[in-house]
Amino acid sequence: MTDKGSRPGGERRYSSVVVDGIAQAPSRAMLRAVGFTEADFRKSQIGIASTWSNVTPCNMHIDVLAREAAAGADAAGGKAVIFNTITVSDGISMGTPGMRYSLVSREVIADSIETVVGAEGFDGFVSIGGCDKNMPGCVMAMARMDRPSVFVYGGTIKPGAGRRDIVSVFEAVGAVAGGRISEAQLLEVEQTAIPGPGSCGGMYTANTMASAIEALGLSLPDSSAQEAVSSHKHSDCRRAGAAVVELVRRGIRPSDILCREAFENAITLVIAVGGSTNAVLHLLAIAHEAGIELSLADFTRIGARVPVLADLRPSGYYSMSELVAIGGIQPLMKMLLDARLLHGGCLTVTGKTLAENLAGVGSYPEGQKIIRGFDQPIKKDSHLVVLQGNLAPEGAVAKITGKEGLSFSGKARVFGSEELALDAILGGVVVAGDVVVIRYEGPKGGPGMREMLSPTSAIMGRGLGDRVALITDGRFSGGSHGFVVGHVTPEAAVGGPIALVRDGDGITIDAAARAITLDVTDAELQRRRAEWTAPAATVRQGVLTKYAQLVSSASRGAVTTGQPDP
């Protein structure tokens, strides 16, 4: 397999159409008012896409990081211009109707960065993301615009008291319902779990995507493994600003970096760190924007040869901060490269190949227990298991580390929304042996494909993690663990088989065979399908309605560009 190398085409100034010539005097007049000098009109304009917001700890510090990136671009001879896009908080909206906007925000972020970069004629840009959907949204815009650009991760949060994080709070809610802790103990967890800025502290979706983006080659080495509140993160931002100026000078664009092998590198690293199922959805979406063919089958193919090596939360023990303390992601990438599991010839935003970036990286310290060797993996193959069968003809994605077992059979207990399922779990209606089915939560049906951290955490908190399975056409937080299957496609709202399941039906999930089976005859399914009618739309206006009309299947990344599914 041949790696794509650099194809630099020389500096291209998109900004020249905005600032050059007599006809552009009005543009220059406007720019003078925001701080441009005469000399600035001859410089490359570098946009700094900031996802700063005070709505979430993940992004509350990114205004400072944006200013650092701008300073780096200016010092390297560019002219930086900071602009903002939105963010929403998964952790705050989780379990509420507001969570419908989470995945939608990924598209809004990509669209808004495209809009500003395209309208203002920036020659290149830095995009800085902190919360889960910021990150793929930023990278989708980078791929779509194909201008020299670098992604910067806002960084991980420090652990709370007693090594707690946000998932500790969700699971404590379930523990109260199960009588395992008191409400006073829950309050103490609530008050101490989130100590300050940064993204959720395990290998949840934010840290997973930061790792994947570094493996793609779109962020600087080690950007994915730094604490939000650290001098390293400030330096990372300054270097990113300078790097974009150099990329503009050399004419290196995302299309020179985002080859198929780069996506294989990202999938490999996501598996090795035990990352979130959301990475499947987001990598498919980024590949779509980059014009790279990628499918669920690629995750199965690569997963057959890549082990899980990181003992990180949620299914493992350690936090991201503890991984940062022993060297971060880079030594693991070097291990994977040396084992010929990464394509070292892929170009990156440093202007060097991945192998060149890793050449001087050392090993983890002796005695550390966070990253296992290849001789003693957490799991010998991928924890991200793509399942197919009569319940998910287009595929479903499970996160199975083996700690929950590799198969589960039980009776369906069906719910038409996350809220109904959560009430039943907390109320003791769901019991050992049940397969909780949550449907009409897919991209179209939700609309918005909500994450199911509240139900999965309630199951774990009640001590049912190895005795109850959960399947959904929605998706899961990176903090979810247990025997869980999401992204069931086709989704219920378009008449997928999950819409036809009834209470008491037998369901078998077999990770080894990569199968998910509804124990109902084809004839009975055909009879039920003839009786099924599509439910009325839950929303009739606004961004959710537009999203439901445009969005593709989760098996294609739930994208809204290109042709929608029939």
Question: Are 200 and 118 in the same domain?
Answer: yes
Contact status, residue 412 vs residue 343, Cβ threshold 8 Å: no
* Amino acid in position 105: S
Give the pair of three-digit tokens for residue 152. Answer: 């910067």
Let me know if residue 305 belongs to a domain: yes
Let me know if residue 230 belongs to a domain: yes
Let me know if residue 91 belongs to a domain: yes
How many domains is the chain built from? 3
pTM, 2 dp: 0.95
Question: Are 93 and 126 in the same domain?
Answer: yes
Contact status, residue 105 vs residue 87, Cβ threshold 8 Å: yes
How does DSSP assign 393-412, residue by residue? Answer: EEEEEEE--STT-SEEEEEE
Rounded to whole angstroms, how far apart are CA atoms 150 and 242?
Answer: 10
Residue that is last in its domain, among 179, 195, 211? 195
Let me know if residue 78 belongs to a domain: yes
Rounded to whole angstroms, how far apart are CA atoms 188 and 422?
Answer: 23
Question: Are 189 and 204 in the same domain?
Answer: no
CA quadruple 485, 488, 493, 498: dihedral sign:
negative
Rounded to whole angstroms, how far apart are CA atoms 470 and 478?
Answer: 15
Q: Give the H/E segment covering residue 46.
A: strand 45-50
Cis bond upstream, residue 490 (ω within 30)? yes
Residues recorded for the chain:
566
Question: Are 186 and 240 in the same domain?
Answer: no
- Residue 565 has phi, psi (to 5 degrees) of -65, 150
* 3-state secondary structure labels for all residues of 423-456: HHHHCCCCCCCEEEEECCCCCCCCCCCCECHHHH
Question: Are 190 and 257 in the same domain?
Answer: no
Domain that holds residue 505: 388-537
The per-residue pLDDT for 566 is 52
Let me know if residue 449 belongs to a domain: yes
Given a cut of 50, the residues of the chain with pLDDT beneath it are 1-9
Helix (H/G/I), strand (E/B), else coil: 475: strand
Let me know if residue 545 belongs to a domain: no
Helix (H/G/I), strand (E/B), else coil: 174: helix
How does DSSP assign 338-381, residue by residue? Answer: HTT-S-TT-B-TTSSBHHHHHTT--PPPTT--SB--TTS-SBSS
Let me know if residue 405 belongs to a domain: yes
Task: Give the residue among 198, 176, 205 at the shortest CA–CA distance from 399.
Answer: 205
Question: Are 59 and 173 in the same domain?
Answer: no
Question: Are 214 and 305 in the same domain?
Answer: yes
Where on the phi/psi map is residue 482: left (φ > 0), alpha (ψ -120 to 50), or beta? left
Neighbours of 393 (CB within 10 A): 14
- Residue 484 has phi, psi (to 5 degrees) of -125, 140
Rounded to whole angstroms, how far apart are CA atoms 293 and 464?
Answer: 39
Question: Are 338 and 213 in the same domain?
Answer: yes
Question: Are 322 and 399 in the same domain?
Answer: no
Rounded to whole angstroms, how far apart are CA atoms 151 and 213?
Answer: 8
Helix (H/G/I), strand (E/B), else coil: 469: strand
Rounded to whole angstroms, how far apart are CA atoms 468 and 431?
Answer: 7
Let me know if residue 9 belongs to a domain: no
Task: Give the residue among 551, 413, 533 at the shortest CA–CA distance from 471.
Answer: 413
Instruction: Kindly report, residue by residue over 535-565, the tens digit of the pLDDT.
Output: 988 888 999 999 999 999 999 999 998 765 6
Instruction: Kindly report, residue by residue over 410-468, the tens digit of the pLDDT.
Output: 999 999 999 999 999 999 999 999 999 999 999 999 999 999 889 998 998 899 988 99
* CA 349 to the chain's CA centroid: 20
The per-residue pLDDT for 308 is 97
Burial status of residue 49 (CB atoms within 10 A of its CB: 0-12, 13-18, 19 or more): buried
List alpha helices for 61-156, DSSP H.
62-75, 90-93, 100-120, 134-145
Contact status, residue 268 vs residue 375, Cβ threshold 8 Å: no
Alpha carbons within 13 angstroms on the beta-carbon side of residue 455 total: 32
Question: Are 471 and 516 in the same domain?
Answer: yes
Q: Which residues are catalytic?
A: 477
- Contacts of residue 274, Cβ cutoff 8 Å, sequence gap at least 6: 203, 308, 310, 311, 312, 315, 316, 378, 383, 401
Neighbours of 10 (CB within 10 A): 8
Rounded to whole angstroms, how far apart are CA atoms 303 and 334?
Answer: 18
Rounded to whole angstroms, how far apart are CA atoms 232 and 65?
Answer: 11
Q: Which CATH number goes with the domain that contains 460?
A: 3.50.30.80
Residue that is last in its domain, among 141, 169, 195? 195
Question: Are 55 and 74 in the same domain?
Answer: yes
Question: Are 174 and 248 in the same domain?
Answer: no
